[in-house]
């Protein structure tokens, strides 16, 4: 689930917990029934990305802005909705990792 990020701490396979550990299919179904639940998912996503950033090796992703003007929070939430709509076989957390990678690209990180 977290493979592919260069952070060795993230290369380990771990069991992720919380609402964001849901499948994209479940996320899509839940926000269709109750759109306000998306806030809970997105709050989880922000915490998850913050944890990735905290676990990054020293100097890696230094200064990475998780809420840049170029990709405001509403657009980040939209990114995750689109990701899950297009990738129903994946997990919501996979979308969060993809969003984190996008934020890294925007910041000029490799």
Q: Which fold has domain 8-107?
A: 10k-s Protein, Hypothetical Protein A; Chain A (1.10.890)
Instruction: Give the tens place of pLDDT for each residue, 35-49.
Output: 999 999 999 999 999
pLDDT-above-70 percentage for the chain: 87
Q: Which of 17, 15, 14, 20 is nearest to 98 (CA)?
A: 20
Supply the pLDDT for residue 7.
45
pLDDT-above-90 percentage for the chain: 74
Work out the angle between the directed axes of helices 24-33 and 37-55 (0-180°, nearest 10).
Answer: 140
Per domain, the residue ranges of the chain are: 8-107
CA–CA dist 69, 26 (Å, integer): 30
Instruction: Give the tens place of pLDDT for each residue, 71-101.
Output: 999 999 999 999 999 999 999 999 999 999 9
Q: 52: left (phi > 0), else alpha (psi -120 to 50), else beta?
A: alpha
Supply the pLDDT for residue 11.
53
């Amino acid at each position: 689930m977290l493979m592919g990020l260069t952070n060795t701490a993230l290369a380990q396979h771990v069991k992720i917990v919380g609402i964001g550990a849901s499948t994209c299919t479940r996320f899509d179904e839940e926000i269709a029934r109750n759109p306000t639940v998306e806030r809970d998912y997105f709050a989880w996503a922000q915490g998850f990305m913050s944890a990735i950033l905290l676990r990054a090796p020293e100097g890696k992703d230094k200064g990475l802005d998780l809420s840049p003007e170029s990709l405001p929070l509403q657009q980040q939430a939209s990114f995750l909705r689109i990701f899950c709509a297009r990738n129903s076989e994946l997990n919501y957390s996979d979308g969060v990792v993809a969003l984190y990678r996008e934020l890294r690209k925007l910041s000029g990180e490799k």
